[in-house]
Amino acid sequence: MGWPPSASGEDKASLWSWKRPDEGDCPSRRDRRGRYGFRHRGPSGNAFIDRGHATFRAIKYAPFPVVGALAAMAFGGGCEILLHCSAIQAHAEASIGLVETKIGVVPGWGGCKEMLIRQYALTAAPHGPVAPAIAAFNLIASARVSGSAFEARNLGLLRVTDGITMNRDRLLADAKRKALDLVPGYSAPERPKIALAGLSGAPAIRNLLDSEGIAGRATAHDRVVGIALIDTLTGGVSADPLKPVGEDEITAMEKRASIALCGTPGTVARVKHMLATGKPLRN
């Protein structure tokens, strides 16, 4: 199966969005647990993703430090917000992760890009663009979440410079102190250039995906989502490992992959099932 999956132009330019049942054309009613249905949203989905990118870019490159205080859980978009902060102060028992693949999409607000950057920064990682892409793929494709802040640090979701608070009542005070400590001499980080593995790395990651399928741990739609994620993390056929790209190029690939996946029946089924039951669908 190739990528993007076969879908109409209208499907590829669409997203699903929240809608209250009393707004008119929602296909499902609110259930007893208070969940809402959803409706099909057209080209405005592009603007929705673009606004997220602009917001997170402003957080990362603000002329002052932005510190995220993680008290309990930060999944998906919440995790992506924290990944763009200057620093994170997390409670010791906090859980964090990029879980978008559970509903059939890839992280679309900079999660893929930030995990690539973090994996490159790990001193234990081998040199070259393939190893960071594999590490980011293993984390994102499995929708792995940390069981604690210490595990999040081992996974690369927290940096060694991020703080961990043992007493949750002290979390905001510790986060404020970290922000004030960063103020003297603070300047926004330089915009990185990232070498993407391209065709030199994509086959290796596809082999990992195929192995998961043979072992029965990856479903048919997991493969569709996985291929989209591989193309995003490696840059696809046009990427040249000798020509690093900027963040905007990677976030553009995230956006294309997310929108294309939203037009696939498998992702639509996952979203419907999650809204109806609160549990991920394995299709």
State in Å, rounded, how far the first CA of the chain is from the last one: 16
Strand partners, 15: 41
Residue 121 pLDDT: 80
Q: What is the pTM of this model?
A: 0.81
pLDDT at residue 20 greater than cutoff 50: no
Residue 17 pLDDT: 41
Structure-token match 């410079």, residue found: 161
Residue 268 pLDDT: 95
- The answer to whether 264 and 223 have CB atoms below 8 angstroms apart is no
Strand partners, 41: 15
Q: Which two tokens stand for residue 58?
A: 């402003």
Q: Which residues contact 112 (CB under 8 A, 6 or more apart)?
A: 106, 136, 140, 229, 232, 233, 250, 253, 254
pLDDT at residue 38 greater than cutoff 50: no
Residues 155 and 254: their CA atoms lie apart, in Å, by 21
Rounded to 5 degrees, φ, ψ at 255 are: -65, -45
In the chain, DSSP assigns E strands to 15-18, 38-41, 67-70, 73-75, 87-91, 95-97, 163-165
Residue 224 pLDDT: 95
Give the residue-averaged pLDDT of 137-159. 94
Residue 245's identity, in one-letter code, is: V
- The answer to whether 268 and 51 have CB atoms below 8 angstroms apart is no
> H or E stretch including 261?
helix 247-261
If one compares 16 and 175, the residue with the highest pLDDT of the two is 175
Q: What does DSSP say about strands 73-75 and 15-18: parallel, antiparallel, or unpaired?
A: unpaired
The dihedral over CA atoms of 85, 198, 251, 185, expressed in degrees to the nearest 10, equals 30
The full set of domains in the chain, from first to last, is 9-277 (3.90.226.10)
At 256-272, the pLDDT tens digits run 999 999 999 999 999 99
User: What single-letter DSSP state applies at residue 102?
Assistant: G
Q: Which two tokens stand for residue 135?
A: 């590490």
At 47-59, the pLDDT tens digits run 888 888 999 999 9
Strand partners, 31: none
| Residue 256 exposed, middle or buried by CB count within 10 Å (0-12, 13-18, 19+) | buried
51, 49, 48, 45: which is closest to 10 by C-alpha?
A: 45
What band does 164 get if pLDDT is binned at 50, 70 and 90? Answer: very high
Give the residue-averaged pLDDT of 228-238. 92
